[in-house]
Structure 1
Amino acid sequence: MSDPSRLDLLRFLERVQLQQLDQTRRWIAAEEERATAARRTPPPVPDWVIAYQRSGTGPVAEGVHVGGCGMAAGRTEAVTREQALRALTVDAVPACPYCRPDSELGVLES
């Protein structure tokens, strides 16, 4: 068995470098995808949310908030204007004293 020629060694080197180039291109594509995902705009802030707290029987509505209120802690659910009105008037869910959704919705407290 003879030693590989210089040309054989260069062709081997070329194959290795092409494999490395392919791997580098895959890494670049994955990084571009991550960067694109990071630049996507976040979903719009809902107009109204209801914050829930956990209890032994399940989640309990603890307050209605204007969307984006920093006091809406824990699990929140985006709701429509009608759902927010119902929560305040029929279900007696309290309004947040900071963002005052009852004022925004035109509900007067008694």
Structure 2
Amino acid sequence: MFDDLPSDLPRLEVLRTWHAMWVKRIDTKIARLREREAQQARAAATVEEHAPDWLIEYGLNRDAVPNAVHVGGCRMAGKRSKPTDSETVRRAIAGGVPACGFCRPDSELGILDG
């Protein structure tokens, strides 16, 4: 059935040892990757638990003019986003700051386009 394997016992034992070593290495790598994924999931859950309710994203210029409004935890919010309260978000949207099309903070607040 397995005619492609060596016919003598010493070479078969070497092959078995070699493959057992590789299976152990593969199992170790799988365990490390599973642990890393679990850590990332725990970290993401912690971030989501502590996410603010609302975010205002600011531009690059020195004047830091708001350029978008997001619901807290929106993945589209940039690094220049700052937490804020709902009243500030309402005023920003009323003042012309665009609402994120992904998380739709205007819908969350019940603001309808006039």
Which TM bucket (shorter chain)?
A: 0.5 to 0.7
- 1:99 corresponds to which residue? 103
Percent of pairs with identical residues: 46
TM superposition score normalised by structure 2 = 0.55
Question: What is the CA distance between 1:53 and its match in structure 2?
Answer: 1.2
**Structure 1 unaligned residues grouped into runs of 5+:** 1-38
TM superposition score normalised by structure 1 = 0.57
Q: SS of the residue aligned with 1:50?
A: strand
- 1:62 corresponds to which residue? 67
Query: Out of 27, 46, 50, which is 2:52 matched to?
Result: 46
Q: SS of the residue aligned with 1:59?
A: coil
Query: Out of 79, 84, 90, which is 2:84 matched to?
Result: 79
Q: SS of the residue aligned with 1:58?
A: coil
- Between Structure 1 and Structure 2, which shows a larger proportion of helix residues? 2
- The runs of at least 4 aligned residues of structure 1 exceeding 2 Å deviation read none
Which has more radius of gyration?
1
Question: What is the CA distance between 1:74 and its match in structure 2?
Answer: 2.9
Aligned-pair Cα RMSD in Å: 1.8
In the alignment of these two chains, the number of paired residues is 69
Aligned partner of 1:83: which letter?
T
Aligned partner of 1:99: which letter?
C
- C-alpha distance in structure 1 between counterparts of 2:99 and 2:86, whole Å: 14
**Structure 2 unaligned residues grouped into runs of 5+:** 1-42
Q: SS of the residue aligned with 2:77?
A: coil
Question: What is the CA distance between 1:92 and its match in structure 2?
Answer: 1.2
- Between Structure 1 and Structure 2, which shows a larger proportion of strand residues? 1
